[in-house]
């Protein structure tokens, strides 16, 4: 081949190489402005970021640039499709282990251990030191997986792997004691620490009763006047039943029922048999841990939301702000479907829900809960005249005022172990007594 024709061929190569690259970056850039943008990502259960407001302050502190970067990548052309391809590429990285898979949240990893440094003494000051809170939880409050440090898929079931802190357990126990003291021992205070399935469904070498260890420490630290609810032991007897979702981080309606039985034992009630309730089913539920891991094998073990309705009418209200002006609502949102099926219980994590039952026994309970409490709370309507459900993340009112206004007789802390292990929950719930709980940024 002559030198000349070789040079021509090389030129052709160079032009093509340049053209292909420029074509990609220019077309990508142009299509970004032309194509329509989604506002919500269903898979990620979040709003996609919108174009930020431009002002001098956010320009100077650098947040404008960050927001624009975020906006650009959040709304990138064919993002959902490209993410699916990225998942396929990810699968090529190695040999899949069909038995056990680890999904670690590296955003959360660095936070492990920090909790051990925090300690409060409620008798001195009911508000947890803000700087300690900042170090531990508030900085992670915006993180999407605040509570998830590690998810393991084992036998087609996704399970969070929990590790508790004895200091956090002590803080939580001290907080409940402070409640007892605040209400001059006039109220019954219950503490229900809910296991999240790791102890029951992970091999011992991965999780050696971490949840039980934490719950035992917490219950041991409780003041004798605070009654512990032995839900763990009750659930442990039924691990072969459908008590925990396979693809979601919550327990099922049946799991919550066994905890209800344990609560009745602690409170001295006779629990209703399961047959008392009307069973209903919402099929095809792929939950949060599926979207976290995006592991296809979970699709082979898809969940259904089985809920057990109380067979009587209640008057239910939700409260957006404070403890006045309830808006009519319902205990069950039976049109919940798809990834949102767990929303059948109470609809959502409203700051406050008040449920007036047909009972006339003068017993009124406040349940301070996280989302695990949603599947649980409705069972108590069989035993109380009123059940008031507060979400520790969103409630902003004053609990002392509420207790006086509604003549509350009982308070139940119903939290999964992650929340009971969290300084943020302790801070929020102590602040309920001052009426200055901050609205969580946590979604």
Partner 1 sequence: MVFSSLFFLFLFLPLNLLIYYSTKNKELRNLILIFFSLIFYAWGEPIWVILLVICAVVDYFNGIFIYNNHGKSIAKLGVISTFIFNIGLLLTFKYSDFFVENANFIFGTSFKKPGFLLPVGISFYTFQTISYTIDVYRGEVKAQKSFLKFLLFVSLYPELVAGPIVRYAHVANEIENRSFSWSDFSTGITRFSKGLFKKVVIANIAGSIAVQFLETDIQSMTLLGSWYGIILYTIQIYFDFSGYSDMAIGLALMFGFHYHENFKHPYISNSITDFWRRWHISLGTFFKDYVYIPLGGNKKYQYRNIFIVWLLTGFWHGASWNFVIWGLYFGFLLLLEKAFLGKILSKSSSVIQHFYTLFLIIIGWALFYYTDINKLFDFLKILFCINKVEIFDVEFQSVFMENLNWFVLAICLCMPVYKYFQNILTKYAKNDKLISSLNISINLILFIISVILLVGSTYNPFIYFRF
The residues in 214-273 that bind partner 1, with binding defined as CB under 8 A, are 249
The residues in 136-155 that bind partner 1, with binding defined as CB under 8 A, are 144-148
Residue 193: φ, ψ to 5°: -95, 125
Contact window for partner 1 (CB under 8 A) among 94-102, 183-191, 329-337, 403-411:
94-102
Among 38, 66, 139, 241, indicate the residue that binds partner 1 (CB under 8 A): 66
Shortest Cβ 160–partner 1 spacing (Å)? 10
Spatial separation of the C-alpha atoms in residues 397 and 357, rounded to whole Å: 23
Spatial separation of the C-alpha atoms in residues 297 and 152, rounded to whole Å: 13
Residue 106 in the binding site for partner 1 (CB under 8 A): yes
Sole residue written with tokens 């357990």: 169
The residues in 307-366 that bind partner 1, with binding defined as CB under 8 A, are 340, 348-349
Among 38, 51, 54, 86, indicate the residue that binds partner 1 (CB under 8 A): 86
CA distances from 166 to 171, 175, 392 (A): 9, 14, 21
Shortest Cβ 241–partner 1 spacing (Å)? 25
Nearest to 373 by CA among 282, 277, 260: 260
Residue 203 in the binding site for partner 1 (CB under 8 A): yes
Contact 256, 375 (CB under 8 A): yes
Residue 40 in the binding site for partner 1 (CB under 8 A): yes
CA 41, distance to chain mean position in Å, is 18
Q: Give the pair of three-digit tokens for residue 93.
A: 């990285």
Residue 50 in the binding site for partner 1 (CB under 8 A): no
Contact 393, 370 (CB under 8 A): yes
Q: Give the pair of three-digit tokens for residue 199.
A: 């102890």
Residue 60 in the binding site for partner 1 (CB under 8 A): yes
Residue 186 in the binding site for partner 1 (CB under 8 A): no
Nearest to 372 by CA among 330, 417, 333, 329: 417
Spatial separation of the C-alpha atoms in residues 395 and 350, rounded to whole Å: 8
Contact window for partner 1 (CB under 8 A) among 56-64, 277-285, 298-306, 429-437:
56-64
Shortest Cβ 24–partner 1 spacing (Å)? 7
Other CB atoms within 10 Å distance of the CB of residue 250? 25
Instruction: Give whichever of 32 and 276 is closer to partner 1, judged by the CB atom.
Output: 32
Among 26, 51, 276, 312, indicate the residue that binds partner 1 (CB under 8 A): 26
Residue 439 in the binding site for partner 1 (CB under 8 A): no
The residues in 370-429 that bind partner 1, with binding defined as CB under 8 A, are 371, 393
Residue 21 in the binding site for partner 1 (CB under 8 A): yes
Among 89, 184, 268, 270, indicate the residue that binds partner 1 (CB under 8 A): 89
Residue 94 in the binding site for partner 1 (CB under 8 A): yes
Nearest to 234 by CA among 192, 268, 275, 198: 192
């Amino acid at each position: 081949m002559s030198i000349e024709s070789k040079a021509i061929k090389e030129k052709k190569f160079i032009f093509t190489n340049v053209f292909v690259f420029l074509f990609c970056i220019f077309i990508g850039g142009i299509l970004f402005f032309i194509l329509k943008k989604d506002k919500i990502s269903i898979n990620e259960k979040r709003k996609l970021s919108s174009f930020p407001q431009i002002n001098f302050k956010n320009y100077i502190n650098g947040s404008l640039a960050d927001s624009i970067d975020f906006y650009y990548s959040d709304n990138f052309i064919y993002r959902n499709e490209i993410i699916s391809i990225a998942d396929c590429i990810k699968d090529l990285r190695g040999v899949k282990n069909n038995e056990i898979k680890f999904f670690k949240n590296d955003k959360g990893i660095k936070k492990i251990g920090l909790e051990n440094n925090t300690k409060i003494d409620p008798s001195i000051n009911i508000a947890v030191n803000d700087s300690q809170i900042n170090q531990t939880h508030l900085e992670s409050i915006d993180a999407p997986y605040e509570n998830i440090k590690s998810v393991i898929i084992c036998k087609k079931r996704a399970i969070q792997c929990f590790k508790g802190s004895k200091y956090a357990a002590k803080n939580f126990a001290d907080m409940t004691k402070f409640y007892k003291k605040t209400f001059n021992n006039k109220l019954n205070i219950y503490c229900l620490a809910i296991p999240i399935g790791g102890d029951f469904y992970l091999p011992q070498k991965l999780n050696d009763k971490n949840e039980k260890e934490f719950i035992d420490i917490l219950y041991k630290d409780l003041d004798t006047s605070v009654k512990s609810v032995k839900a763990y032991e009750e659930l442990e007897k039924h691990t072969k039943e459908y008590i925990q979702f396979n693809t979601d981080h919550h327990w099922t309606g049946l799991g919550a029922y066994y905890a209800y039985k344990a609560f009745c034992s602690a409170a001295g009630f006779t629990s209703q048999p399961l047959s008392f309730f009307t069973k209903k089913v919402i099929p095809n539920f792929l939950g949060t841990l599926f979207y976290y891991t995006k592991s296809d094998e979970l699709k082979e073990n898809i969940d259904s939301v089985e809920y057990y309705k109380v067979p009587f009418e209640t008057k239910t209200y939700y409260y957006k702000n404070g403890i006045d002006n309830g808006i009519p609502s319902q205990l069950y949102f039976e049109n919940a479907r798809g990834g949102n099926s767990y929303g059948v219980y109470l609809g959502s994590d409203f700051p406050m829900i008040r449920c007036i039952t047909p009972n006339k026994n003068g017993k009124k309970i406040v349940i301070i809960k996280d989302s695990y409490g949603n599947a649980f709370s409705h069972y108590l309507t069989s035993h109380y005249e009123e059940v008031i459900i507060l979400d520790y993340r969103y409630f902003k009112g004053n609990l002392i005022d509420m207790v006086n206004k509604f003549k509350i007789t009982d308070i139940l802390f119903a939290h999964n172990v992650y929340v009971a292990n969290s300084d943020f929950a302790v801070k929020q719930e102590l602040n309920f007594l001052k009426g200055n709980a901050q609205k969580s940024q946590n979604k």
